[in-house]
């Protein structure tokens, strides 16, 4: 995230001539009004190449970039790094919306609440302290890459413990930073080419000595929240219909570099991302409400409405209750802007009203003891779980032809084989009825798939009734041959 400071910076002055050739000049896009203001302040160190009513393509020196990062009213860097002049100008063009329209339904009360009950604040605290202990995660420092590889190892250990073969991790190497990102993927069971993605940056920064950037709130807290979501859905053996990805990004603090490369690659490859939600700073409770949905123009208002509906549904009363409000975050304020920039529906729930967020970020004072409790992060973890489960759920549970598609059966060698089309629930028991409606067999099974031996029965029509643990009943007719 971003904050105000009034640090004194000594500038090297460059002339416009030869500007682009300067080692530390680069292209970016930023808020159109900010560009005009900064250009007036630093006419020799930045140039506006093109602009529209919202954003400007600019060429600027690293020094001015730092100045923008420190002074623009936004959480993140305040600009988006662009690899070339062409890309900076292209970014001003209106992007075509790429996200598939999500059916924003809320149907999984039982399972979601079971998951919320498993959120463990201690894990979140441990992860924040763990990430803080690198001392710095500034993108060019070796500790930053180490934190990414250690993050991958953490996820790999969770996957190994779960025994799952449909969950995997991968390192994503970048062009514009030596720091890699890391991604965990849960393969979707039915529509694996549709993605629901959440993420946060794992790098850190500071205005001063880059070796002292603990980044506890910004953004060890967000990564810790993501880790706890992953842990819970693995513990509950959740198999989504859509693929889920959780991303820990490199180099957000210098212009959303990691997420921009990934989101652009996804767009170029035509990847179908249904929705993206960012977790950047979840630790510090600075406002009257708990979670603030950011409403910047590039965010998806439909997605914000969905997150609000999820909180109305799951968090208005009881053990998991908390409150929410709305705020604006600013241009390029965190990695969700990279996804929005590529036409995907994206948004960002933030720890406080903008300006009331953690005052210590981007300083050596961004340490855990400043907020000293994982409880604020717990709320974001719960929101994330609610979102992941409802947005990536087996669609089958929310449609009318439930009994048609929820379970697949076939008969082979006089055994009735069944496979529930999702693992959100188990089949608790199966009852077999003859054509006269008499119950001829009942078995407790407690599994998502299995086979019932029916050798003792004559050939003919039968009815199988599957009672699910979530209360649903599915009835299927079959021929025993």
375 a catalytic residue: no
Of the listed 63, 70, 203, 252, which one is catalytic?
252
Candidates 31, 218, 261, 341; binder of Zn ion (CB under 5 A) is 218
At closest approach, how far in Å is the CB of 1 from Zn ion? Answer: 4
At closest approach, how far in Å is the CB of 393 from Zn ion? Answer: 29
Q: Is 335 in the site for Zn ion (CB under 5 A)?
A: no
Of the listed 362, 366, 376, 390, which one is catalytic?
362
Q: Is 217 in the site for Zn ion (CB under 5 A)?
A: no
Distance CA(326)–CA(311), nearest Å, equals 13
Binding track, positions 238-277, relative to Zn ion; x by CB under 5 A: ----------------------------------------
Of the listed 194, 218, 345, 357, which one is catalytic?
218
Q: Is 72 in the site for Zn ion (CB under 5 A)?
A: no
At closest approach, how far in Å is the CB of 174 from Zn ion? Answer: 17
Residues 6+ apart with CB under 8 A from 327: 292, 293, 294, 295, 350, 352, 353, 354
For Zn ion (CB under 5 A), the number of binding residues is 4
Q: Is 315 in the site for Zn ion (CB under 5 A)?
A: no
Q: Is 219 in the site for Zn ion (CB under 5 A)?
A: yes
Of the listed 253, 290, 351, 357, which one is catalytic?
253
Scan residues 442-461 and list those touching Zn ion (CB under 5 A): none
Distance CA(80)–CA(452), nearest Å, equals 58
108 vs 252, beta carbon nearer Zn ion:
252
347 in Cβ contact with 278 (< 8 Å): yes
313 a catalytic residue: no
Candidates 34, 70, 125, 280; binder of Zn ion (CB under 5 A) is 280
Q: Radius of gyration (Cα) for the chain, nearest Å?
A: 25
115 vs 354, beta carbon nearer Zn ion:
354
At closest approach, how far in Å is the CB of 330 from Zn ion? Answer: 12
280 a catalytic residue: yes
- Choices 219-227, 312-320, 346-354, 445-453 (CB under 5 A): range interacting with Zn ion: 219-227
Distance CA(198)–CA(215), nearest Å, equals 20
362 a catalytic residue: yes
201 a catalytic residue: yes
Q: Is the dihedral of CA 257, 259, 265, 267 positive or negative?
A: negative
At closest approach, how far in Å is the CB of 30 from Zn ion? Answer: 17
- Choices 8-16, 37-45, 117-125, 216-224 (CB under 5 A): range interacting with Zn ion: 216-224
280 vs 341, beta carbon nearer Zn ion:
280
77 vs 240, beta carbon nearer Zn ion:
77
At closest approach, how far in Å is the CB of 409 from Zn ion? Answer: 50
Q: Is 1 in the site for Zn ion (CB under 5 A)?
A: yes
252 a catalytic residue: yes
Of the listed 280, 345, 366, 390, which one is catalytic?
280
- Choices 106-114, 171-179, 211-219, 311-319 (CB under 5 A): range interacting with Zn ion: 211-219
At closest approach, how far in Å is the CB of 201 from Zn ion? Answer: 6
- Choices 7-15, 38-46, 212-220, 236-244 (CB under 5 A): range interacting with Zn ion: 212-220
Active-site residue list: 201, 218, 252-253, 280, 362
Residues making contact with Zn ion (CB under 5 A):
1, 218-219, 280
């Amino acid at each position: 995230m971003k904050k105000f400071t009034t640090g004194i910076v000594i500038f090297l002055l460059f002339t416009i001539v030869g500007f682009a050739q300067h080692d530390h000049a680069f292209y970016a896009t930023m808020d159109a009004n900010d560009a005009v203001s900064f250009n007036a302040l630093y006419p020799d160190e930045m140039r506006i190449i093109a602009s529209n009513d919202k954003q400007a393509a600019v060429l600027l020196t690293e020094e001015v970039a730092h100045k923008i990062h420190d002074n623009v009213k936004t959480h993140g860097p305040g600009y988006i790094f662009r690899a070339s002049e062409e890309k900076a100008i292209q970014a001003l063009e209106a992007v075509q919306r790429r996200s598939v329209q999500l059916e924003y339904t809320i149907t999984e009360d039982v399972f979601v609440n079971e998951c919320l009950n498993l959120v463990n604040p201690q894990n979140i605290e441990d992860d924040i302290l763990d990430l803080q202990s690198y001392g710095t995660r500034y993108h060019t420092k070796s500790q930053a890459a180490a934190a990414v590889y250690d993050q991958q190892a953490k996820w790999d250990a969770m996957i190994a413990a779960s025994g799952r073969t449909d969950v995997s991790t991968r390192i994503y190497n970048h062009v514009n930073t030596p720091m890699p990102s890391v991604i965990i993927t849960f393969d979707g069971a039915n529509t694996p080419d549709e993605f629901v993605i959440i993420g946060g940056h794992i790098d850190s920064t500071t205005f001063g000595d880059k070796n002292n950037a603990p980044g506890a709130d910004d953004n060890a807290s967000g990564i810790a929240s993501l880790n706890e979501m992953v842990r819970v859905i693995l513990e509950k053996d959740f198999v989504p219909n859509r693929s889920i990805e959780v991303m820990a990004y490199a180099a957000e603090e210098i212009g959303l570099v990691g997420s921009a490369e990934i989101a652009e690659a996804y767009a170029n490859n035509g990847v179908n991302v249904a929705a993206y939600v960012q977790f950047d700073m979840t630790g510090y409770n600075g406002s009257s409400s708990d979670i603030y949905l950011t409403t910047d123009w590039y965010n998806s208002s439909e997605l914000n409405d969905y997150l609000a509906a999820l909180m109305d549904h799951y968090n208005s009363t009881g053990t998991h209750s908390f409150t929410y409000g709305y705020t604006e975050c600013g241009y390029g304020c965190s990695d969700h802007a990279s996804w929005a920039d590529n036409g995907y529906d994206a948004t960002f729930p933030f720890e406080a009203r903008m300006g009331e967020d953690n005052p210590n970020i981007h300083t050596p004072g961004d340490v855990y003891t400043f907020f000293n409790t994982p409880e604020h992060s717990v709320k974001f973890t719960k929101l994330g779980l609610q979102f992941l489960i409802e947005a990536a759920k087996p669609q089958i549970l929310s449609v009318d032809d439930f009994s048609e598609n929820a379970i697949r059966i076939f008969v082979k060698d006089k055994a009735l084989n069944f496979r529930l089309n999702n693992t959100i629930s188990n089949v608790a028991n199966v009852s077999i009825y003859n054509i006269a409606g008499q119950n001829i067999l009942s078995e407790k099974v407690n599994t998502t798939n299995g086979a019932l031996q029916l050798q003792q029965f004559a050939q003919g029509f039968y009815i199988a009734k599957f009672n699910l643990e979530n209360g649903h009943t599915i009835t299927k007719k079959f021929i025993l041959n």
